Chain A
Amino acid sequence: DTGVSQDPRHKITKRGQNVTFRCDPISEHNRLYWYRQTLGQGPEFLTYFQNEAQLEKSRLLSDRFSAERPKGSFSTLEIQRTEQGDSAMYLCASITPGTPYNEQFFGPGTRLTVL
């Protein structure tokens, strides 16, 4: 257990539905990352926050995806109008300022299946 938690761990939804995932980082960590990992591949960067500010978004993050970190603590990732191609593991990671070379602590992930 790295101290980063994600909820839910598994989500099955029908195409077209909206889903929301939550990530709770380690409490003193001010930077939070979201990644997507499809089967047999490494994680791909989606977005990251420094406190409540969203500083970078990948072009992978289409307009159906939105992420928030309203108080600089937990974060949510919402996918609207889900598509089968959204099926993946969604990972969250956090780091604390001054961490050398961006050492990240990963949550267990939320596995999304879109039927």
Chain B
Amino acid sequence: KNEVEQSPQNLTAQEGEFITINCSYSVGISALHWLQQHPGGGIVSLFMLSSGKKKHGRLIATINIQEKHSSLHITASHPRDSAVYICAVLIQGAQKLVFGQGTRLTINP
């Protein structure tokens, strides 16, 4: 079993829908990252969380440390949000990230 699990693996929705992507982890962490990867490979950081909730534009990320779970929400989704979203955790005491397998999101117009 992977230390970081994401669900769903694939998600297709219509423009305007509210999107939720989930991430569960099984180890103690210092922080959790949400990353976005567009076709072609480049990865950009969306959020870093150690507790609570963060919001940036239409994106919201939450984390529950006790339940070892995080969610990424997209409000009013748009076709340009189509990408792979990856959850990654910084394990306590480590200097490297451990990644989930990613969630491929497709938003249809």
The reply on A74 being an interface residue by CB < 8 A is: no
Which residues in B have their C-beta under 8 angstroms from that of A106? 35, 42-44
- Which of B12-20, B54-62, B65-73, B95-103 is the interface stretch? B95-103
The reply on A108 being an interface residue by CB < 8 A is: yes
Alpha-carbon separation in the docked complex, A101 to B31 (Å): 6
**Residue in B30, B96, B99 whose Cβ sees the most chain A Cβ within 10 Å:** B96
**In the complex, number of A-B residue pairs with CB atoms less than 8 Å apart:** 65
The reply on B90 being an interface residue by CB < 8 A is: yes
Contact among B31, B40, B101, B102 for A102, CB-based, below 8 A: B31
User: CB-nearest residue of chain B relative to A90?
Assistant: B41
> Contact between A2 and B44 (Cβ–Cβ < 8 Å)?
yes
- Which of A15-23, A41-49, A76-84 is the interface stretch? A41-49
The reply on B88 being an interface residue by CB < 8 A is: yes
**Residue in A2, A31, A43 whose Cβ sees the most chain B Cβ within 10 Å:** A43
Q: Contacts A41-B101, A42-B102, A43-B99: A91 and B50 contacting too (C-beta < 8 A)?
A: no
We find that the number of chain B residues with CB closer than 8 angstroms to chain A is 24
> Least Cβ distance of B43 to chain A in Å?
4
User: CB-nearest residue of chain B relative to A110?
Assistant: B41
Q: Contacts A2-B42, A106-B43: A101 and B50 contacting too (C-beta < 8 A)?
A: yes
User: CB-nearest residue of chain A relative to B43?
Assistant: A106
The reply on A85 being an interface residue by CB < 8 A is: no
Q: Contacts A40-B101, A48-B96, A101-B50: A111 and B30 contacting too (C-beta < 8 A)?
A: no
Considering the complex, which residues of chain A in the window 21-76 have a beta carbon less than 8 Å from any beta carbon of chain B?
Answer: 31, 33, 37, 40-45, 48, 55-56
Alpha-carbon separation in the docked complex, A103 to B33 (Å): 8
> Which residues of B pack against A, CB within 8 Å?
4, 30-31, 33, 35, 40-45, 48, 50, 86, 88, 90, 95-102
Known: A43-B88, A101-B33. 18 other contacts (CB 8 A): A2-B44, A31-B95, A40-B101, A42-B4, A42-B86, A42-B88, A45-B96, A45-B98, A48-B95, A56-B95, A100-B48, A101-B48, A102-B97, A103-B45, A104-B45, A104-B97, A106-B35, A106-B44
